[in-house]
């Protein structure tokens, strides 16, 4: 089937965008201070919290990279396996959510500082900003794909428009507005995908026809990937999710532990629908449009279905992208404001000043995100880089705070540095040998350094602490 633009689908994006902007403006008027902006005043109930967890986690990484690119490039089974890290991550977060709330911090850096000291906070802030800018960048490009499909507009121009919308929605109301738009978007996603799966399979001629039109390797368990390569695609999302500041901030913004638990259970159930649906849609797209960019697989199906269904899916795809982009942009700006500006540049900054600086940093990081996406050839490549920088650099040290009382500052800080250095060395200096993602090397290095450094320095570290206290 030939891929042809359908400009009429753009109306669905316009309507969705106007609704989101309207909600954002209304909610922005309720922002009373920096805690309202960053944590929504710790007022989120289970319904809204579930929606914002769902919408934040499932973004362009899923519909342009992740499950979509895996289904198109390697087959249905490797794509379905991409769901497993998310399910495992949600279950682990369910266990530690009360501890996250107990810390009461605006950022993951704040949690790390409480355990490992100021140095860990500084390093963590840099890691978070590096990773989140990368994540925001491919949300922008994902929106560019949407406008390219609907209007024929160049992906670059569409990316600029996506950047402007993501920056604006993050700036006007922070989490107070983002959480509300996320909740609406989250349920739009679920509904749109449920309708699309049977429709696109029917359009493609049925499941047997879909299977007949894809390479034989696409029906194997790994799609031609080696076991190490497959692990390299699975681990980044798990280690990002387990230490993701966005998730920690949202869990901290709930009304209480009961609301958080209900929201997480709802999130888990929703992912059991969303992730397989994305895989099936992208796999059917491989049968219909074998020569397109893998990142466009899901969105390409919108032009092959009845306009109403295609429009709903396209609006859902836009909601994936915009909500994830503004959430990660807001979170990264929070680090700049509270961990760097508030700590070193203006220690006596008023609450009003912190709020205005957060908005300024949102704009600055948004522009940097747009510039970054031009460096990476595909959405999947920048996704794996960003996930691994964060997952290897922060997650082992973060999880140790909750699960290993013996861990000390030397172990935590050394692990963070080792994880980032290993990632950058593998990706940039060595140029990803054997086509294996850096997570396979970086995460084990970070964990080993964490354990060894802690065990080797525990006695000396405790002795110094006792001496200084005396």
Q: Does any domain span residue 468?
A: no
Q: Does any domain span residue 351?
A: yes
Cβ neighbours around 402 below 10 Å, total: 15
Instruction: Give the CATH number of the domain where residue 239 resides.
Output: 1.20.1730.10
CA pair distance 175, 448, nearest whole angstrom: 36
Domain of residue 66 covers 8-380
The model carries a pTM of 0.79
Q: Which pLDDT tens digit goes with each residue over 297-312? A: 888 888 888 888 888 8
pLDDT confidence of residue 379: 56
Q: Does any domain span residue 417?
A: no
Q: Which pLDDT tens digit goes with each residue over 391-415? A: 889 999 999 998 998 999 999 999 9
Q: Does any domain span residue 447?
A: no
Please, what is the Cα angle at 449 between 447 and 453, to 5 degrees? 125
Of 116, 74, 100, the closest CA to residue 412 belongs to: 116
Q: Which residues contact 406 (CB under 8 A, 6 or more apart)?
A: 454, 458
Q: Which pLDDT tens digit goes with each residue over 44-101? A: 788 888 888 887 788 766 777 788 989 999 999 999 999 999 999 999 989 888 887 7
Tokens of residue 344, six digits: 């070193």
Contact 391, 439 (CB under 8 A): yes
pLDDT confidence of residue 203: 93
Q: Does any domain span residue 412?
A: no
pLDDT beneath 50, residues of the chain: 463-470
CA dist 268 → 88, 277, 281, 465 (Å): 10, 14, 20, 42
CA pair distance 3, 67, nearest whole angstrom: 21
CA pair distance 180, 376, nearest whole angstrom: 32
Q: Does any domain span residue 399?
A: no
pLDDT confidence of residue 468: 43
Q: Does any domain span residue 400?
A: no
Q: How many domains does the chain have?
A: 1
pLDDT confidence of residue 470: 38
Cβ neighbours around 293 below 10 Å, total: 16
Of 24, 26, 117, the closest CA to residue 409 belongs to: 117
Entry field: residues in the chain: 470
Q: Does any domain span residue 423?
A: no
């Amino acid at each position: 089937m030939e891929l042809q633009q359908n400009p009429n689908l753009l109306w669905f994006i316009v309507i969705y965008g106007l609704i989101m902007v309207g909600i954002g403006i209304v909610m922005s008027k309720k922002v009373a201070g920096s805690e309202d902006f960053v944590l929504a005043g710790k007022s989120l109930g289970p319904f809204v919290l579930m929606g914002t967890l769902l919408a934040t986690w499932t973004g362009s990484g899923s519909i342009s990279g992740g499950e979509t690119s895996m289904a198109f490039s390697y087959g249905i089974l490797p794509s379905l396996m991409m769901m497993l890290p998310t399910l495992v991550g949600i279950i682990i977060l369910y266990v530690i959510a009360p501890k996250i709330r107990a810390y009461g911090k605006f950022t993951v850096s704040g949690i790390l500082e409480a355990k490992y000291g100021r140095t860990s906070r500084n390093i963590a802030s840099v890691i978070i900003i590096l990773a989140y800018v990368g994540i925001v960048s491919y949300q922008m490009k994902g929106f560019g794909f949407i406008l390219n499909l609907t209007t024929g507009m160049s992906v670059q121009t569409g990316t600029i428009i996506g950047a402007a919308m993501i920056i604006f929605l993050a700036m006007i109301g922070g989490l107070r507005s983002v959480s509300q738009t996320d909740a609406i978007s989250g349920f739009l996603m679920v509904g749109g995908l449920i309708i699309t799966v049977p429709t696109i399979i029917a359009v493609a001629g049925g499941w047997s026809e879909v299977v007949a039109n894809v390479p034989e390797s696409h029906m194997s368990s790994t799609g031609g990937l080696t076991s190490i390569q497959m692990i390299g695609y699975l681990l980044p999302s798990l280690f990002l999710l387990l230490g993701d500041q966005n998730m920690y901030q949202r869990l901290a913004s709930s009304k209480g532990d009961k609301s958080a638990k209900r929201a997480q259970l709802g999130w888990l159930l929703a992912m059991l629908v969303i992730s397989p649906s994305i895989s099936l849609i992208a796999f059917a797209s491989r049968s219909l449009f074998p020569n397109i960019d893998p990142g466009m697989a899901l969105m390409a199906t919108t032009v092959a279905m009845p306009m109403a269904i295609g429009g709903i899916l396209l609006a859902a795809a836009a909601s994936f992208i915009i909500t994830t982009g503004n959430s990660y942009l807001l979170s990264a700006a929070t680090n700049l404001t509270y961990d760097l500006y508030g700590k070193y540049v203006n220690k006596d900054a008023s609450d009003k000043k912190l709020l205005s600086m957060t908005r300024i940093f949102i704009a600055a990081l948004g522009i940097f995100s747009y510039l970054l996406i031009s460096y990476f050839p595909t959405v999947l490549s920048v996704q794996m880089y960003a996930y691994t920088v964060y997952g290897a650099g922060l997650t082992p040290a973060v999880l140790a705070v909750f699960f290993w009382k013996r861990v000390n500052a030397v172990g935590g800080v050394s692990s963070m540095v080792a994880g980032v250095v290993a990632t950058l060395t593998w990706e940039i200096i060595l140029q990803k040998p054997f086509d294996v993602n850096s997570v396979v090397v970086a995460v084990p290095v970070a964990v080993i350094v964490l354990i060894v450094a802690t065990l080797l320095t525990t006695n000396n570290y405790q002795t110094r602490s006792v001496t200084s206290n005396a």
